[in-house]
């Protein structure tokens, strides 16, 4: 863990992001060879629409995982903020942007509650965010009952300005969502890698006690990362609502696992202390390209997409584990002789 | 240490009893033995799942692939049954599937030393995909009647065979874990993996074993699921892993490992799966299901942890007092 500040490991990081870039390029080349439609900018950028929420949330879940925590409630907050937005706009007569702000504020409070339990009560992050995911999914469902619309239909008919959030394309090509993602990625990069706050996040992940003794308010830092990830989840929820045109309480239900996959694939250690925003962003794009390209170019059914993503994750983590333990050979394991770690 | 273990189970048991009592106060029709026993009967799938994952959680790891394992083994078993094989053959095939996936999980976590959440997450994706490939996205239907009727057969007056089997397995597992030498290894590994290795416990093998057991329990849960529901969709068992983990937490297991028991996990499973039934008796719609589950989970865990932290601090304070008193005594 101590090495994480040494230049040697920095090179490995750079290498890792390099590998991710290579993977993306390889995917694009293979898909383009198979189906030339894939390279059309409109199609290529259009592919981002479906995964933009994973990209945005995983950027900030990286913060949580660097402090050594985990956040499996982000998916439920996506749904919660979507439905709060819809109900506030339709049934309580809020302006659509005011409703968006309300949704983000509510998400921030949710993240704050979970973060408080984790940081100040010392409960395991996994348990708290597990409970949080049940709680916020449930609250989302209850909020949807406040609406006059049946909850399974979803609230629709949003004003044009709000829908343009996802329909507008810069220069007629780049969707506005991609620009939001890029802005957030740059923001997250600066926040994590260029500010004092970012250094403190890393230090808390490396050694919380040492961080505490060096005068950092570690509990506040930990709590803040959960607020950040919850707010980013609500941003993703708002964009997803705009893209789909309907507000529903369950639109984020399947996001949890892809988010964690993206963060881990991006080189973040789940034990904390190591990770980077560019890595996560690249990994999210790599997964997204895979999920988009396989059905388009190889006619793989949508339902089978869990396999390639799962295999990609397994291959990479196993490969990394083998590289880290050169003494480990398949033969020795089969014979039951497991070398010491 | 033993005392703490005992109180944790008894705590969750008292909580369940209190819950039943309270609901009965509000709606006396809940107090009929049939209703209460049905709460237990309905929890049988979660009892197996939680008991299985309890082995893994006790060793300080986690397994989020059990929902997919449940789905895959149910699909494998159900297709065999549909094609005319016997129940024993189907059960054997399902258990084999569960054990293989568990073995892969165990090797990944214990030998390759990959964080368990991440490894089992990847396995979860792959297994979930394999279900689609295996079933070609279609439902497995038309199971033989004698298999689906098995879930209704009663052992005694109200208790089903399945729940009887679950109780038997949990009791045996509990006794093995708490009374035998090998069984205590699980808790020891979870309590302190490095320390356990130093005193000669094969920590890696215990972890692999716990994953294999977890896979087997999940596949048995899958067969029971198949029998109870009567058809298998490709999404069968989606999200069950989180509910099983939540049940374990409700049952007093600590996710850091080394604390808790199988009995606790199975009580947690009953609490977990009877929440929706209880809501009906309280006159709420089942929309409150998730809210109440999340609220209960958070409250219990926060209170539990705060109480634990308090005791730790209090003990430390007392030890400090005793030490300073001793030093003072020596000087005098």
pLDDT in tens, B20-76: 888 888 888 777 878 888 888 888 899 999 999 999 999 988 898 999 999 999 999
Of A131, A310, A322, the CB nearest to B125: A310
Same domain, B192 and B246: yes
Say whether B111 and A333 touch across the interface (CB within 8 A): yes
Same domain, B144 and B113: yes
Those of residues 314-333 in A touching chain B at CB distance below 8 A are 314, 317-318, 321-322, 324-325, 328, 333
Q: Bigger pLDDT: A340 or A312?
A: A312
How close, in Å, is residue A306 to chain B by CA atoms? Answer: 5
Say whether B132 and A303 touch across the interface (CB within 8 A): yes
The whole-angstrom separation of Cα B267 and Cα B248 is 8
Q: Express each pLDDT in A76-92 by its tens digit.
A: 999 899 889 888 888 88
Nearest to A281 by CA among A52, A69, A115, A68: A52
CATH (domain of B181) = 1.10.3470
Residue B1 has pLDDT above 60, yes or no: no
Residue A181: both structure tokens together = 């993602």
Same domain, B296 and B205: no
Residue A113 has pLDDT above 50, yes or no: yes
Same domain, B188 and B100: yes
Q: Judge whether B2 lies within some domain.
A: no
Q: Judge whether B1 lies within some domain.
A: no
pLDDT band at B324 (very low <50, low <70, confident <90, very high): confident
Q: Express each pLDDT in B206-239 by its tens digit.
A: 999 999 999 999 999 999 998 888 888 888 888 7
Residues A123, A226, A184: CA angle, nearest 5 degrees: 160
Domain encompassing residue B312: 288-332
- Interface membership of B139 toward A (CB under 8 Å): no
Sort A323 into a burial class: Cβ within 10 Å, 0-12 / 13-18 / 19+: exposed
Q: Express each pLDDT in A180-208 by its tens digit.
A: 888 999 999 999 888 999 889 899 888 88
All residues of chain A having their beta carbon less than 8 Å from the beta carbon of residue B118 are: 260, 264, 270, 313, 317
- Evaluate whether B215 touches B70 at the Cβ level (below 8 Å): no
Same domain, B111 and B236: yes
pLDDT for position B153: 73
Rounded (10°) angle between helices A306-324 and A277-298: 140
Which DSSP letter does residue A99 get?
H
Token pair 């507008």: residue: A168
Same domain, B21 and B167: yes
Domain count, chain B: 2
Neighbours of A300 (CB within 10 A): 16
Nearest to A205 by CA among A265, A121, A117, A275: A275
Say whether A123 and B204 touch across the interface (CB within 8 A): no
Integer angstrom CA distances of residue A312 from A23, A43, A66, A305, B132: 10, 24, 22, 11, 18
pLDDT band at A341 (very low <50, low <70, confident <90, very high): very low
Least confident interval from A59-68, A266-275, B159-168, B222-231? A266-275
Q: Which helix (H) or strand (E) holds A169?
A: strand A169-170
Same domain, B300 and B280: no
Tell me if residue A174 falls in helix, strand or coil: strand
Say whether B115 and A270 touch across the interface (CB within 8 A): yes
Tell me if residue B177 falls in helix, strand or coil: helix
Those of residues 63-92 in A touching chain B at CB distance below 8 A are 70, 72
Residue A3 has pLDDT above 50, yes or no: no
Taking each continuous run of H as one helix and of E as one strand, the counts in chain A are 15, 2
Q: Judge whether B154 lies within some domain.
A: yes
pLDDT for position A11: 60
Nearest to A255 by CA among A201, A309, A184, A318: A309
Say whether A328 and B111 touch across the interface (CB within 8 A): yes
Say whether B287 and A139 touch across the interface (CB within 8 A): no
pLDDT for position A77: 92
Say whether A314 and B294 touch across the interface (CB within 8 A): no
Q: Bigger pLDDT: B192 or B95?
A: B95
CB-defined contacts A:B, below 8 A: 154
Q: Which helix (H) or strand (E) holds A175?
A: strand A174-175
Which DSSP letter does residue A19 get?
H
Q: Which helix (H) or strand (E) holds A170?
A: strand A169-170
Q: Which residue of A has its CA nearest to B62?
A: A126
All residues of chain A having their beta carbon less than 8 Å from the beta carbon of residue B126 are: 306-307, 310-311, 314
Count of all residues that appear for chain A in the document: 341
Residue A334: both structure tokens together = 């089969």
- Evaluate whether B260 touches B248 at the Cβ level (below 8 Å): yes
pLDDT band at A1 (very low <50, low <70, confident <90, very high): very low
Q: Which of B108, B125, B137 to mutate to test the interface with A (most CBs of A within 10 A)?
A: B125
How close, in Å, is residue A165 to chain B by CA atoms? Answer: 31
Same domain, B147 and B207: yes
Which DSSP letter does residue A37 get?
G
DSSP codes of every residue in B2-61: HHHHHHHHHHHHHHHHHHHHHHHHH-GGGGSHHHHHHHHHHTHHHHHHHHHHHHHHHTT-
All residues of chain A having their beta carbon less than 8 Å from the beta carbon of residue B295 are: 131, 135
Q: Which residue of A has its CA nearest to B137?
A: A303
Model ipTM value: 0.77
| Domain regions of chain A by residue span | 58-259
Of A131, A309, A341, the CB nearest to B297: A131
Of A134, A305, A306, the CB nearest to B246: A134
The whole-angstrom separation of Cα A232 and Cα A226 is 10
pLDDT for position A115: 92
Same domain, B186 and B314: no
- Evaluate whether A160 touches A254 at the Cβ level (below 8 Å): no
pLDDT for position A332: 57
- Evaluate whether B242 touches B65 at the Cβ level (below 8 Å): no
How close, in Å, is residue A203 to chain B by CA atoms? Answer: 21
**For A233-251, what is the mean pLDDT?**
85
- Interface membership of A271 toward B (CB under 8 Å): yes
Q: What is the pTM of this model?
A: 0.82
Residue A162 has pLDDT above 70, yes or no: yes
The whole-angstrom separation of Cα A267 and Cα A4 is 13
Same domain, B53 and B95: yes
pLDDT for position B304: 77
Same domain, B297 and B266: no
Say whether B132 and A304 touch across the interface (CB within 8 A): yes
Q: Bigger pLDDT: A303 or B219?
A: B219
* Average model confidence (pLDDT) across chain B: 84
């Amino acid at each position: 863990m101590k090495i994480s500040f040494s230049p040697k490991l920095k090179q490995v990081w750079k290498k890792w992001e390099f590998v991710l870039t290579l993977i993306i390029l390889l995917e694009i080349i293979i898909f383009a060879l198979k189906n030339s439609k894939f390279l059309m900018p409109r199609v290529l950028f259009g592919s981002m629409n479906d995964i933009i929420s994973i990209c945005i949330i995983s950027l900030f879940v990286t913060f949580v995982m660097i402090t050594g925590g985990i956040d499996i409630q982000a998916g439920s907050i996506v749904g919660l903020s979507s439905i709060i937005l819809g109900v506030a706009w339709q049934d309580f007569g809020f302006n659509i942007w005011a409703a968006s702000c309300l949704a983000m504020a509510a998400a921030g409070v949710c993240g704050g509650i979970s973060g408080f339990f984790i940081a100040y009560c010392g409960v395991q992050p996994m348990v708290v965010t597990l409970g949080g995911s049940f709680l916020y999914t449930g609250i989302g469902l209850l909020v949807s009952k406040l609406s006059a619309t049946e909850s399974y239909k979803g609230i629709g008919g949003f004003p044009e300005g709000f829908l343009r959030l996802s329909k507008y394309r810069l220069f007629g090509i780049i969707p506005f969502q991609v620009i939001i993602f890029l802005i957030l990625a740059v923001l997250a990069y600066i926040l994590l890698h260029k500010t004092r706050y970012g250094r403190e996040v890393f230090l808390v992940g490396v050694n919380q006690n040492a961080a505490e003794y060096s005068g950092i308010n570690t509990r506040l830092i930990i709590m803040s990362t959960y607020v950040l990830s919850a707010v980013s989840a609500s941003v993703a929820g708002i964009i997803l609502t705009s893209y789909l045109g309907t507000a529903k309480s369950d639109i984020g239900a399947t996001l949890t696992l892809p988010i964690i996959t993206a963060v881990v694939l991006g080189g973040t250690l789940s034990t904390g202390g190591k990770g980077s925003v560019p890595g996560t962003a690249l990994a999210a794009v790599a997964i997204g390209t895979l999920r988009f390209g396989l059905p388009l170019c190889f006619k793989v059914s949508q339902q089978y997409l869990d396999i390639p993503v799962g295999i990609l994750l397994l291959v990479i983590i196993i490969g990394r584990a083998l590289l880290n333990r050169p003494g480990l050979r398949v033969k020795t394991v089969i014979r039951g002789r497991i070398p010491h770690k | 240490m033993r005392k703490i273990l005992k109180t944790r189970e008894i705590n969750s048991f008292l909580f369940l009893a209190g819950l039943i009592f309270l609901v009965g106060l509000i709606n006396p029709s809940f107090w009929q033995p049939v209703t209460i026993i049905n709460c237990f009967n309905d929890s049988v799938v979660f009892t197996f799942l939680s008991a299985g994952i309890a082995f893994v959680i006790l060793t300080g790891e986690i397994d989020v692939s059990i929902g997919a394992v449940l789905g895959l083994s149910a699909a494998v078993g159900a297709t065999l049954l549909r094609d005319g094989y016997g129940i024993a053959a189907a059960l054997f095939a399902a258990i084999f599937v569960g054990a293989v996936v568990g073995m892969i999980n165990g090797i990944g976590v214990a030998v390759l030393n990959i964080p368990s959440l991440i490894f089992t997450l990847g396995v979860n994706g792959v297994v979930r995909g394999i279900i689609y490939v295996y079933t070609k996205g279609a439902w497995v239907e038309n199971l033989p009647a004698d298999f689906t009727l098995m879930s209704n057969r009663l052992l005694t007056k109200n208790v089903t065979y399945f729940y009887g089997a679950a109780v038997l397995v949990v009791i045996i597992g509990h006794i093995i874990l708490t009374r035998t030498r090998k069984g205590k290894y699980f808790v020891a590994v979870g309590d302190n993996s490095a320390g356990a290795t130093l005193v000669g416990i094969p920590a890696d093998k215990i972890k692999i074993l716990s994953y294999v057991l977890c896979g087997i329990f999940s596949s048995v849960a899958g067969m029971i699921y198949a029998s109870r529901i009567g058809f298998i969709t490709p999404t069968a068992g989606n999200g069950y892993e989180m509910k099983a983990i939540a049940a374990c937490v409700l049952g007093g297991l600590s996710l850091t490992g080394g604390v808790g028991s199988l009995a606790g996990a199975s009580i947690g499973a009953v609490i977990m799966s009877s929440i929706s039934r209880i809501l009906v008796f309280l006159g709420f719609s089942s929309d409150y299901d998730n809210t109440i589950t999340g609220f209960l989970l958070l409250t219990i865990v926060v209170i539990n942890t705060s109480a634990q932290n308090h005791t730790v601090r209090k003990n430390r304070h007392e030890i400090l007092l005793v030490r300073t008193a001793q030093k003072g005594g020596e000087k005098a």
